[in-house]
Structure 1
């Protein structure tokens, strides 16, 4: 019987911080399910974060603030791009809905 080796996944510090925040909001199991990470891994990150805070280790990777240093213009440009992409996706969905209805009606 051969065992499948699962490659070790690397997560960014920002991802870990946001995962911990999500776990605090909705619970560890739900956060792990949503993010696709093992519950034990998320628990380890949370525990390390709590220990670092209690010791006063502000320089810890898990505790660092992840404030964005991007300019407002960059954020507005990205927001505009995402709105256009969402509008395009909604249009695609509407076209597919109408096409599906047309073909279903024609097959009767």
Structure 2
């Protein structure tokens, strides 16, 4: 989502920026300054890349796990909505049957 003023970066740019952080020995802030971007997105990209390589903090989700979690949360929302509709339909038919 983000602001309409947010600079969109390609996946290739992100990969190159992460590689630069990993290989240069410079801080994320220094690399971000050189690339002309904010340090926070670069820090997040770097953290996610490390998690995907198995080098992240304990308990940190990989990209695949994050995508699965997103998919499962969406599925849960849809199932909850279905349950609500079925509850209302059941109540309606019980009421109709009593007449």
Please give the range of the TM-score, normalised by the shorter of the 2 chains: 0.3 to 0.5
Give the alignment's TM-score, normalised by structure 2. 0.46
> Could you say which structure has the greater relative contact order, defined with CA pairs below 8 angstroms and 6 or more residues apart?
1
Greater C-alpha Rg: 2
Give the alignment's TM-score, normalised by structure 1. 0.43
